[in-house]
A and B are shown apart, each in its own frame.
Chain A
Amino acid sequence: MPQDVTALQLVLSGDPALFAIVRLSLYVSLSAVVLAALIGIPLGAWIALTKFPGRQGVIVLLNALMGLPPVVVGLAVYLALSRSGPLGAFGLLFTPRAMIIAQTVLVTPIIAALTRQTIEDLWIEYRDELTAMNLGPIGRVTALIWDARFSLVTALLAGFGRAAAEVGAIIIVGGNIEGFTRTMTTAIALETSKGDLPLAVGLGLVLIAIVIAVNALAWTARRAGERLAG
């Protein structure tokens, strides 16, 4: 890593080490959001549409889990994936996959809770029509999820924002290994603690730019939704 170079120079010159870190961050967080969506959207929709004993309690719990502290998730996943832990045989600790798993655990409640809210609101509106059309449970769920697509995309972007910004979970399960499990946030933590601020600031700029871009995307998605589908 070049020593006395300013943050902006690193970003603008396309410093390969910096962008390798950025690529890894995006790979980990995007993968986590995809997995979290595959689990969270059907789960949220199911909770929204099914009556079962303890449903209100589950909803409260799901909303509370949106605020899971990342370090706690990191510790739990670390204990699970360690060679001395139940899933140790897979040898996943200190790899990008472990980071994806940890962030998936972190983001799934967010997507599930927001999906549940959106689908439940939509169901109240669509219930009569969808019932009158004699749709089975799968038909209803797919209709609701498709119609809620713009709100769900916003939920996914919220999940991505959370994943991309956290450091506590991935630093524990990833080990912050140079060139392997070092992402933007863990690199910022490391470089700051070493007193190497230009690189930390450069990474911070890129991270903020990504967060802004994600929010702009979310806003555009809502607007497109309103324009296209009303």
Chain B
Amino acid sequence: MRAPSSELPIEFDGVTVTAGVVTILDDIALALVPGPPTVLIGPNGSGKSTLLRVAMGLLAPTRGRITWGGLENVPPLRRAIVFQRPAMLRRSAAANIRFALRAAGIPRAEHARRTVELLELVGLSHLADRAARRLSGGEQQRLALARALARDPVVLFLDEPTASLDPTATKAVEDIIRAVSERNIKVVMATHDLGEARRLAGDVVMLHRGRIAETGAAASFFEMPQTVEAKTFLAGELLV
């Protein structure tokens, strides 16, 4: 059970991110609140990854502001992110998790117990001493999840975690995400796989060219999309 903390809600207020002349995010207004997973969907280049990075605190907005629990400039103590191609440290799987525990300031006495628990949660107990870089793509993704969870996060961001995985590995990762969400950890996930979005989403945020096209509870979004962009995208057509 997660006690309420200062991380949530995460509020975007007129957030714009530009790089040179290119606008990546355009005047985003959004609130990420505790509850079931929020899934970001949209075509490639719509700004999903950037939005996650801003929410994580890795990227500062060019304009506008973002607050965590009403506060600005909150260091990412209880937030965690899993990147699409996570970087594996040149150590064993267990050592990767221990590193994350240490970085998160978890007391050393707890490391052994938590490492075992996390490995079990992601199904990697049998690979604890394998060199992390020699794990398969799916196994690395699961290890990255374990590392993220080592931080005891209140909110977990995932950037297309199953994009390069086969169906078996995808299922394993999705199961973990469900388990995480059941522990009341807020999941915010970007995906371009509509099936996955349907499987996991509680709320949907659709992005198109850096702007929010439509948001809504999963059921109503998928059954009755309101906007042209959402309808086009859900119909499987190319949204330019």
Q: Do chains A and B touch in the complex (CB under 8 A)?
A: yes
Chain B positions within 8 Å of A132 at CB level: 56, 58, 76, 80-81
Do A147 and B58 contact each other (CB < 8 Å), given the known contacts A132-B80, A133-B104, A229-B131? Answer: no
CB of A129 within 8 Å of the partner chain: yes
- A134 contacts the other chain (Cβ, under 8 Å)? yes
Partner of B86, one of A129, A131, A148: A129
Instruction: Specify which chain A residues have a CB less than 8 angstroms from the CB of B24 in the assembled complex.
Output: none
Q: How many residues of B contact A (CB 8 A)?
A: 24
Contacts of B86 in A (CB 8 A): 129
At the interface, yes or no: B77 with Cβ under 8 Å from chain A?
yes
Known interface pairs A134-B76, A228-B131, A229-B133; A143-B99 also in contact (CB < 8 Å)? yes
Find the B residue at minimum CB distance from A126.
Answer: B87
Query: What per-residue 1/0 map shows which CB atoms of B86-103 lie under 8 Å from chain A?
Result: 111111100000011001
Contact of A133 among B91, B131, B134, B151 (CB under 8 A): B151
| A133 contacts across to B, CB distance below 8 A | 100, 103-104, 151
The interface bits of chain A over 199-230 (1 if a CB of B lies within 8 angstroms of the residue's CB, else 0) are: 00000000000000000000000000101111
The reply to whether the CB of B145 lies closer than 8 angstroms to some CB of chain A is: no
Do residues B87 and A230 form an inter-chain contact, with CB atoms below 8 A?
no
Chain B residues near A126: list those with CB within 8 A. 87, 89
Is A229 within 8 A of B90, CB to CB? yes
- A128 in the interface (beta carbon within 8 A): yes
Task: Tell me if A139 counts as interface (CB < 8 A to partner B).
Answer: yes
Say how far B82's CB is from chain A's closest CB, in angstroms. Answer: 9
Answer whether residue A76 sits at the interface, using C-beta atoms and an 8 A cutoff.
no
Q: Which residue of B lies closest to A151 (CB)?
A: B90
How near does chain B come to A154, taking the closest CB pair, in angstroms?
Answer: 14
* Chain B positions 50-88 with a Cβ under 8 Å from a chain A Cβ: 56, 58, 75-77, 80-81, 83, 86-88
Please tell me if the beta carbons of B104 and A129 are within 8 angstroms of each other in the complex: no
**From residue A123, how far is it (CB to closest CB) to chain B in Å?**
11
- Chain B's closest residue to A230 (CB) is B133
A-side contacts of B132, CB under 8 Å: 230
Residue of B nearest to A131 (CB): B58
Q: Which of chain A's residues 116-147 have a Cβ closer than 8 Å to chain B?
A: 125-126, 128-129, 131-135, 139, 143, 147
Name the distance in Å between B48's Cβ and chain A's nearest Cβ. 16
Residues of A close to B134: CB separation below 8 A:
230
CB–CB A129/B83 < 8 A: yes
**Are B103's CB and A135's CB within 8 A?**
yes
Cβ–Cβ contact A229 & B91, under 8 A? yes
Q: 0/1 per residue, B174-199, Cβ < 8 Å to A? A: 00000000000000000000000000
The answer to whether A134 and B58 touch across the interface, beta carbons within 8 angstroms, is no
Q: Mark A150-188, 1 if CB is under 8 A from B, else 0.
A: 100000000000000000000000000000000000000
Which residue in chain A gives the minimum CB-CB distance to B81?
A132
Q: Are A139 and B87 neighbours in the complex by a CB distance under 8 Å?
A: no
Taking CB as reference atom, which chain B residue is nearest A229?
Answer: B90
Are B103 and A134 closer than 8 Å at their CB atoms? yes
In the bound complex, how far is the Cα of B89 from the Cα of A229, in angstroms?
Answer: 8
> Closest 5 CB pairs between A and B?
A230-B133, A230-B131, A229-B90, A133-B103, A147-B90
Residues of A within 8 A of B (CB): 125-126, 128-129, 131-135, 139, 143, 147-148, 150, 225, 227-230
CB<8 Å pairs between A and B, sample of 8: A126-B87, A128-B58, A133-B103, A134-B103, A135-B103, A147-B91, A229-B92, A230-B132
